[in-house]
A and B are shown apart, each in its own frame.
Chain A
């Protein structure tokens, strides 16, 4: 939204309260599209896209609205996937409780790491988050319950609320749709709340926000934790989908990937991270036959993206249409 506001002429409708009609329409179309999607594409692929869309949106909350670049978000995404896999497999919890466990663990991790990281700014902030994420990776590699190189495999899908079996991809799909879409709407609300308003003020001018009497570190810590929780929801849900928690999800390259998705789609926009996640996951999926070249192709797209449209795809569209997207 920051990008969009920067470029729109701040027409009076920018003052309209609540969700603008345009956003309502886009969310509506998106939901309708997602409901019919599994009848046309492989549901597991669609679920993967949704999980990453939520992950990128959660990351965007921190980067685009909090102005904080974390380079360790894999810790929350992957950490939660391990906890949720463990909860489902070893503790035998239902899927929704497993996801909640993962999210709670990510929240605690975010609270601890965040409280240390927010004491530093800019590149040092990024380095601190990266360092902690590497520690989480090391734990995932060495600890007993994580299964080391193997990860946690063949996680049972269980019954939703102990009633509805999710073994079927279609049933699982609608569970994942509800979780991710709900998560994205919650993130939208956070951005458009009294809290979100102060957050934007801090991003825009931190010393000024302090001089107005705001305890900015508290806001930063809250947004960091919220972002970690929602990243955790994404990672925990992904573990349920693939019945697997693996080192890939806690690896630093995962932290990089979410940065890429967010920047490609448009940081600080509402719909950018969703588009970015869609593009990256689709590419990885359909270009998988190229093997290691996927990374090279991704790199090229990123370079072209940064050179041609620095505001990201949705950021550019928002500028063209003079609308906040």
Chain B
């Protein structure tokens, strides 16, 4: 079993309040791993620690055997580990094509060349269109991203993320606030992109991740409550208890 991402003794304290407490997490390469838990369980904090948007108080994080605990978020993105956001992370004033192109532009390294015309970016157009087709946004290619319906924005976000050709995707509640139709579409999309990648997704809702994930870790009050397949998790009494009283939406 090859490990893509591994956290050991991960702890985050905010002024006396422990949001994440001594969490050990191993994500196997090529799997879809879900991190779930009721409100306030520390999922988002944990996610932000793993993606380096927060610095852990204690503990280490390794990606493909490499210690990334002290790295900056942009650095781990360049290592091939790319995150999404709870609110749809798009560039609203750019067109769909331009959104994807900003990610492809990473391929040329940093773009500090302010003296050059943006004409040279048109060489990314064909590849951008291919990613846009892949997530089913072809008809919206030249639309302003802000004008897209919610579910489509998430699809655009995924297309942009894919354009970085990451080895590992971290999705922060990819299905939050979506209607049933959109949930199905995005689920299919996640399955499709996970074929040759590792995916870690944070979810609030157990049922959404049921069919999707290979392995599930349940967090409650900043600690790991249980870990296993959906069948194991859904029968565990401590998980059922944690979810009682917590919202069932």
Contacts and interface: CB of A to CB of B under 8 A. Distances in A.
A194 B73 CA distance: 22
A18 B116 CA distance: 11
Given A204-B92, A211-B77, A211-B82, A218 B115 contact: no
A279 B146 CA distance: 33
A192 interface: yes
B121 A194 contact: yes
A45 B105 CA distance: 44
Interface in B113-138: 113-122
A213 B164 contact: yes
Contacts of A216: 74
A29 to B, nearest CB: 22
Given A193-B114, A213-B78, A17 B122 contact: yes
B73 A211 contact: yes
Given A212-B106, A214-B74, A197 B93 contact: no
Interface stretch (A5-13, A154-162, A253-261): A5-13
A186 B94 CA distance: 22
Interface residues of B, number: 46
Nearest to A194: B111
B89 A218 contact: no
Interface stretch (B26-34, B95-103, B197-205, B222-230): B95-103
A62 to B, nearest CB: 13
B160 interface: yes
B110 A211 contact: no
B85 interface: yes
Nearest to A216: B74
Contacts of A201: 91, 94, 102
B89 A193 contact: no
Interface string A192-216: 1111111011001101111111111
B230 to A, nearest CB: 28
B51 interface: yes
Nearest to B109: A213
A193 B115 contact: yes
A212 B103 contact: yes
Interface in B63-107: 73-75, 77-78, 82-85, 89-95, 97-98, 101-103, 105-106
Interface string B135-151: 00000001110110000
Contacts of A177: none
A222 B102 contact: no
Interface in A209-229: 209-216, 218-219, 222, 226
Chain B binding surface, main DSSP class: mixed
B118 A10 contact: no
A226 B114 CA distance: 10
Nearest to A19: B117
A198 B108 CA distance: 12
B17 interface: no
A131 interface: no
B112 interface: yes
A211 B77 CA distance: 6
Contacts of A218: 110, 112
Contacts of B53: 207
Contact of B112 (A192, A204, A213, A222): A222
B118 A197 contact: yes
Contacts of B164: 212-213
A189 interface: yes
A113 B248 CA distance: 51
Contact of B74 (A11, A14, A213): A213
A6 to B, nearest CB: 6
B116 A193 contact: yes
A190 interface: yes
The 6 closest A-B pairs by CB, nearest first: A213-B77, A195-B114, A194-B111, A204-B91, A208-B89, A17-B119
Given A211-B85, A218-B110, 16 more contacts: A10-B142, A10-B147, A189-B117, A192-B117, A193-B113, A193-B118, A194-B108, A195-B114, A197-B118, A200-B93, A207-B53, A208-B91, A211-B82, A211-B89, A212-B82, A212-B164
Interface of B: 51, 53, 73-75, 77-78, 82-85, 89-95, 97-98, 101-103, 105-106, 108, 110-122, 142-144, 146-147, 160, 164
Interface of A: 2, 5-6, 10-12, 14-15, 17-18, 189-190, 192-198, 200-201, 204-205, 207-216, 218-219, 222, 226
